[in-house]
Structure 1
């Protein structure tokens, strides 16, 4: 991926023109795949409809992608879904759910950690 930046170019005739220089981004940035982002946004929409979550943010750092969930817009993140991996084809990513500084659950499968938010069903005895 490349980012295009425009710079002013000074000419002798004082006319302003712009030149495009491309800057390569660091290859170590990790992103959520389409499948992963779809799974996370499906969970997010369910939690928003329940009224538990209100806002989210996506961040990328070197070797890390972060999906932060907020209850109120100006608060600290309620949860962070983190994908951590070394860039490369054979490296399997690790997924975490973090609440403030504590890691709640960790797995190499995203759906495993997202299932923590699913409502657990239980069977109750009738009339005993």
Structure 2
């Protein structure tokens, strides 16, 4: 079975893989950089699969991801194609707008001053 790539002539073709675009990666990496500077996160990984793209965030390289930022284009018209998933699989936030979804992780950066 061959998979056709979308083109202006055939927009209905299914893509070979889903990935984050430049603006999405910019928003994710801005948050990632701030959390690295705060000492919370240390590593990341990106997976581009057929039906979804995943940005995994790690505290240490050799462990399971703390959070996964997922992009699932098929959910665009339902709950929203972006989601932040915790280590235990719980969906922390889902929505149509990536910066809004990422705010759930920005709250982790704010700490009370003692």
TM-score (norm. length: structure 1): 0.66
Measured in 2, the distance between the counterparts of 1:116 and 1:99 equals 11
Structure 1: tracts of 5 or more residues without a match = 1-23, 123-128
1:58 aligns with 2:46: yes
Alpha-carbon shift at residue 27 of structure 1 (Å): 2.1
In the alignment, which residue of structure 2 is the partner of 1:45?
A: 33
Task: Return the structure number with greater helix share.
Answer: 2
1:38 & 1:85 partners in 2: Cα distance? 18
Cα-to-partner distance string for 1:53-111 (whole Å, 9 max, x where unaligned): 0000000111100000000110000000000014xxxx566100001211111001101
Gaps of 5+ in 2: 6-13
Give the distance between the partners of 1:42 and 1:76, measured in 2 at CA.
22
Q: Secondary structure at the match of 2:82?
A: strand
Q: How much is the aligned-residue C-alpha RMSD, in angstroms?
A: 2.2
Aligned equivalents of 2:92, 2:53: Cα separation in 1: 17
- Identify the residue that residue 126 of structure 1 maps to in structure 2: none
Aligned to 2:94: 106
Q: May I ask how many residue pairs the two structures share in their alignment?
A: 95
Provide the C-alpha distance between the structure 2 equivalents of 1:105 and 1:39, rounded to a whole number of angstroms.
16
Q: 1:41 deviation in Å?
A: 0.3
Note the 1:77-92 alignment, pairs <5 A.
77-86=65-74
**SS of aligned partner of 1:112:** helix
Whole-Å Cα distance in 1 between the matches of residues 105 and 73 of structure 2? 23
